[in-house]
Structure 1
Amino acid sequence: MTKNQYWIDFLKSLAAFAVIILHVSVPVVFEFEEKDNWWAGNFYNSLTRFCVPVFVMISGVLLLGKNEQLSVFLRKRFLRILPPFILWSLIYLALKIDYNLPLKEIFSYSIIELKGGTQFHLWYVYMIIGLYLIIPLVNKWILNSTKNELVYFLLIWLFVLLLALPIFNKLTTKIDLRYFSGYLGYLILGYFVYHFVNLKKKTGLLIFLFGFVFTLIATYYISITENDFNERFYKFLSINIVVASTGIFILFKNIIIKNRIFQKVILVLSKYSYGIYLSHIFVLILFKEIGFTYTLFNPWLSIPVLAVCCLMMSLLITFLLSKIPVIGKYISG
């Protein structure tokens, strides 16, 4: 690995930590009556909403523009994501099943849960599976496309995202623009920014801060207007999150990591980031059982403290799984 590639591992590690902060702070934003606590939740949520988009953008950098055989691509990708996903799906299912029910009902319940995800955060894996299935075809286009053709796709994708906002709803027509929607846009955006956007760190930081602050203030404004928490601007496919994700991507693209110890820490977190993602809700469930939640002290401090502890425990679990003989490297993530 060359020096300038450490930024990808750094960004992947940060995204994994950001997911944990986000999930720790989510319960707080539903306490809209408690404004002090709510602002802490809103701050950390708005700050970390780039996490999932950035994961997809990194996939765009690593997987697009490669001339790889279909069978090779599918085998490599699915051997990487499916075994850990199946393991953790079954673990979360085991925690939810009512074992007093008849076997037939347990079986039916299990099928329903596995179809939609046995824990809420596993939606990401279902989404990424869909992207992996289309990537070999998109790659053919990427390999033969010009910069202008990529811009063409991204502009229509951004327009589709804008149509989701109430102020632009009136522009909606019967033209079917679903082909330019969804997380495929982030995949292509990551590839595009990596190969064609040459902005400085400060510019990236300013773009991120704009997206973050807009999310923070817009969420407060719409919630106070409706006198109830509204998460419209938290959506990963909202235009403000696109802005924040693009900004932090540009920022990290320009970062050069020279410290050897920091490099090693980043590489470890990056290597196990998928396992950390899969296992962190399990850790948060355990923490909740022993009373270790954000309510222990001021959420401005308790949220990051709980997130760091969760990160370390999730890393440990993933590392220990990886050490299981024969199957460890396949199921750890």
Structure 2
Amino acid sequence: MTNASKRIFYFDALRAFAILCVVLLHVTGHLGEMMSYDIHTIYSFSGFYETFANNFFRIGVDLFLMLSGALLLGRDWDIKGFLSKRIPRIVKPFVFWSAVFTVLLVAASYFIPSVGFVKSFGIMGILRVFWNTLMCKAPGSAVYWFFWMMLGVYLTMPIFNKWIKHAELSELEYFLAIWVITTLFDYTLMIECPVKLSYFISPMGLVVLGYYLRYTERKVFNSRWISWILILLPSIAMLAYSYMVVGTSILFEFHRYSILVIIVAIGVFCLFKTSTALNSIPKSAKGIITSISICSYGMYLIHSQMIMVVRKILHLSFNFTIDYLILFLTGFVLSWIIIYILAKMPILDEFIGVK
């Protein structure tokens, strides 16, 4: 699938952790819908975990964006070469899996009418399902917003790359300082910033941040202890605030671009960057982590629909732990196995989402 010798392992470990966070967030969301938390059940163990997971695991998408900047910015490439290489790598798997899950939704609804994914089985009905899948409106396809966001990031990245190649890290800090202001207003305090700074609004701020964190030599971003502080303090603050407002908002969710979520993502990125423990991981474990990293985009594209189909067909209602385990095994382990196996087939490898 790729030449492992050219890979940076802490990036692979970060990408594997990012897709793990994404899957756990969506598993948590499905169980939240199934368990219908109220003011009483929110204080149970499952309610505590749901409250924590709904905020902490939002760093998954942030980490993906930061990795894009760390890997792609500041390099010598032209716009035509970049777009001709990067755009097909996200478009082909997106269209392929949208078609696959259109067939799956139609077939499941036809043979198991109780799931109710599709009401019409004519040609126009099937095409409508396919279009709705592409537009993130079909059952299980809401997570496909990630594709449209990444498409926008790739289209914008050549402009930023030209600037970053000639910029000092201190100039990046100027950009990031303004970007932090937008996240404080628009995504943390939920107040429109009085100064119009739309060019600095996420997700491009996270892309530039990833490049900056890779290369900065500032001690604050190169200390394992500070990394842990950046992870733990905002996580505790988010959990505490969620319970402070529990009377008015069950399972309060911070925005993925809120400053607290971003600080946690920075802490995780820097922790992986500075970790010496990664070097002592057994070779077999490194191989698994690298494989998950390579398969992560494909896993992202298929995990949500698989979770949804299993949930609907099995009518899960055992208990929190068993249901969580079933959905996690479906969304993470089974997704990885499927992409890993399909990647061995030369004809399919460019359509399934491996890199």
8 A contact 2:306–2:330 mirrored in 1: no
**In the alignment, which residue of structure 1 is the partner of 2:340?**
319
1:22 aligns with 2:35: no
Structure 1, 254-263 or 147-156: larger mean CA deviation:
254-263
For normalisation by structure 1, the TM-score amounts to: 0.88
Q: Which of 137, 147, 154 pairs up with 2:176? A: 154
Aligned counterparts, 1:77-92, within 5 A: 77-92=86-101
Compute the displacement of 1:305 (Å).
Answer: 6.0
Aligned counterparts, 1:5-154, within 5 A: 5-29=8-32, 31-33=36-38, 34-35=41-42, 36=44, 37-94=46-103, 95=105, 98=118, 100=120, 103-104=123-124, 107=127, 110-116=130-136, 118=138, 119-154=141-176
Compute the displacement of 1:117 (Å).
Answer: 5.5
1:219 aligns with 2:281: no
Instruction: Evaluate the alpha carbon distance shift between residue 166 and residue 306 of structure 1 in structure 2; reply closer, same or farther with a 3 A threshold.
Output: closer
Aligned counterparts, 1:303-314, within 5 A: 303=324, 306-314=327-335
Compute the displacement of 1:298 (Å).
Answer: 3.5
The one-letter code matched in structure 2 to 1:151 is E
Instruction: Evaluate the alpha carbon distance shift between residue 67 and residue 86 of structure 1 in structure 2; reply closer, same or farther with a 3 A threshold.
Output: same
The share of aligned pairs that are identical, in percent, is 26
RMSD, aligned α-carbons: 2.5
**In the alignment, which residue of structure 2 is the partner of 1:208?**
231
Structure 1 unpaired stretches of 5+: none
Structure 1, 275-284 or 108-117: larger mean CA deviation:
108-117
Instruction: Evaluate the alpha carbon distance shift between residue 77 and residue 291 of structure 1 in structure 2; reply closer, same or farther with a 3 A threshold.
Output: same
Measured in 2, the distance between the counterparts of 1:86 and 1:216 equals 38
Compute the displacement of 1:158 (Å).
Answer: 0.7
Measured in 1, the distance between the counterparts of 2:274 and 2:86 equals 28
8 A contact 1:17–1:307 mirrored in 2: no
Instruction: Evaluate the alpha carbon distance shift between residue 272 and residue 166 of structure 1 in structure 2; reply closer, same or farther with a 3 A threshold.
Output: closer
8 A contact 2:188–2:259 mirrored in 1: no
Q: Does the residue aligned with 1:10 lie in a helix, a strand or coil?
A: helix
Measured in 1, the distance between the counterparts of 2:323 and 2:125 equals 40
Aligned counterparts, 1:224-263, within 5 A: 224=247, 226-231=248-253, 233=254, 235-255=255-275, 256-258=278-280, 259-263=282-286
1:186 aligns with 2:209: no
Measured in 2, the distance between the counterparts of 1:4 and 1:202 equals 26
Measured in 2, the distance between the counterparts of 1:292 and 1:190 equals 41
**In the alignment, which residue of structure 2 is the partner of 1:163?**
185
Structure 1, 303-312 or 8-17: larger mean CA deviation:
303-312
1:328 aligns with 2:331: no
Structure 2 unpaired stretches of 5+: 107-116
Measured in 1, the distance between the counterparts of 2:132 and 2:320 equals 39
Measured in 2, the distance between the counterparts of 1:262 and 1:237 equals 32
